Chain A
């Protein structure tokens, strides 16, 4: 008996967003990244179009990380402390579609770098690579509000994505993004209702829906990730069902979440039953990324180059539609 594949008719599609601006568009990027536009759930090519492939952002820290396990550290030791060189390596050697720059050095409990220093870092990274940038503060609201206007201005016109606007702290970042033609990340603590509310708050300030990327704070595989999956999936279902306030492309932080869990870094002496350390973290990161990819994420922020390769191969396979 022939099998009829049931098709789902959706009333709406995910919004398309283009990150980065070339010279013709008022920036200096040599390439831009277009995401979104999905007319169906991930990779159900028989249901509708997936016009843009999910992309891989690689994270660059602006200072030397501490406590990275050897299998991860070995790929970056030569560029630690030089974010421009780190970014270059991520793009040229590892094939990053875009760079996610984290200004950890601004943290007042750490190096407490000034706004000017952060702005300089951004300019050096912009010079070093041609791909678009996601720029994230240090995570301290007060300090981020101090540095973000300068950071945004240092990249004016580049159509970077600034992170992040939260329910309690969105005004400064919105104002900066509006002034300098940047996009923003709308962040929520794994709560679809708050995500929607943040989007209302930022659009009230005049942010265009097309300039927003959604981000839910998630964990790594094994740590409540199935709940994260269900929230991302529900967001995507709402988008396809016509909820304009949840129709933007989604971003997931994978690298730092995957390598945070003990399965990724615990030594072989302490956990011999878990197998070789050199493979574990990579598998953990690739598996976490795959899960978010299938929940509907459009931008995956990654750490390990081999996890990136595995993820890219999987995206290739899913986009080809051959396995369907």
Chain B
């Protein structure tokens, strides 16, 4: 599984404070810690921390790049901010994200082609988030077709079927599992799939438990990547174990240690 660490996000108080104080140390520590815990890429989101989104993104990417050498997942809905982030990441980035709306795709897809980087496509359009898996697949198909037109490899597209909190919309987690399976029949080679895991437990009481169980369920349904908290050790343990049980990594007695070596 491709783990995208979620912690460098202005929604978190520690990150917000660091952005406002322009203090790189806590951010850089989070970057190193997430990598050591098994992250393959790091999400970078300014969040509500600053009104100067451009400057804040540039600064965040810059100081993170100083200490780690993995793809940075530039997380913004603003195309200007995206471009600044991609520029600062110097070619080692993932676009997070476009939706299936025409005008968003028109702005974001050329950036993926220009910077030759993978991108995350949310199954959202002008109508919002579809009710079921079929609705999500319609948008996913549009995203795949648009990528093909732009010459972007389908394997560089990560379909994010938009998980919603289980305490608000209890039918959605199952719809997402169906979507994950259907995505693999979309094209050959198929696009990859990703979820913003923590969303499933937003506002719920037993958040870690919900995240952990749902990640395993999603992996069993073909999930390729997750934006998640690698510092949650039990969550990582569950993911590593699931990969072994799904025969995606080779078993050995110390398989948890093997993953982290």
- Are A and B bound to each other? yes
Interface set of A (CB-CB < 8 Å, partner B): 9, 192-197, 200, 203, 234, 238, 243-246
Other than the known A193-B250, A193-B252, what 6 A-B pairs have Cβ atoms closer than 8 Å?
A: A196-B252, A197-B253, A200-B258, A200-B261, A245-B250, A245-B261
Distance in angstroms between the alpha carbons of A257 and B247 in the assembled complex? 31
Given contacts A200-B257, A200-B261, A203-B261, contact A243 B155 (CB under 8 A): no
Q: Could you pull out 13 A-B pairs where Cβ atoms are within 8 angstroms?
A: A9-B155, A192-B250, A194-B252, A195-B252, A197-B252, A200-B252, A200-B257, A234-B250, A238-B250, A243-B249, A244-B261, A245-B258, A246-B250
Distance in angstroms between the alpha carbons of A133 and B258 in the assembled complex? 30
Distance in angstroms between the alpha carbons of A194 and B155 in the assembled complex? 33
Q: B254 near A: Cβ within 8 Å? A: yes
Contact mask for chain B residues 222-261; partner A; CB cutoff 8 A; 1 contact, 0 none? 0000000000000000000000000001111110011001
Chain A neighbourhood of B257, CB < 8 A: 200
B242 CB → nearest A CB, Å? 16
The 9 closest A-B pairs by CB, nearest first: A196-B252, A197-B252, A200-B254, A193-B251, A245-B258, A193-B252, A238-B250, A197-B253, A196-B250
Contact mask for chain B residues 158-200; partner A; CB cutoff 8 A; 1 contact, 0 none? 0000000000000000000000000000000000000000000
Tally inter-chain residue pairs, CB-CB below 8 A: 33
Interface set of B (CB-CB < 8 Å, partner A): 155, 249-254, 257-258, 261
Chain B neighbourhood of A194, CB < 8 A: 252
Chain A neighbourhood of B254, CB < 8 A: 197, 200
B260 CB → nearest A CB, Å? 10
Chain B neighbourhood of A203, CB < 8 A: 261
Asked if A196 and B155 make an inter-chain contact with CB atoms under 8 angstroms apart, the answer reads no
Chain A neighbourhood of B253, CB < 8 A: 193, 197
Distance in angstroms between the alpha carbons of A234 and B249 in the assembled complex? 11
Chain B neighbourhood of A245, CB < 8 A: 250, 252, 258, 261
Chain A neighbourhood of B261, CB < 8 A: 200, 203, 244-245
Distance in angstroms between the alpha carbons of A195 and B261 in the assembled complex? 15
Residue of B at shortest CB range from A196?
B252
A304 CB → nearest B CB, Å? 34
Distance in angstroms between the alpha carbons of A192 and B249 in the assembled complex? 11
Residue of B at shortest CB range from A9?
B155
Distance in angstroms between the alpha carbons of A244 and B254 in the assembled complex? 14
Residue of A at shortest CB range from B254?
A200
A214 CB → nearest B CB, Å? 12
A83 CB → nearest B CB, Å? 36
B256 CB → nearest A CB, Å? 10
Distance in angstroms between the alpha carbons of A192 and B253 in the assembled complex? 11
Residue of A at shortest CB range from B155?
A9
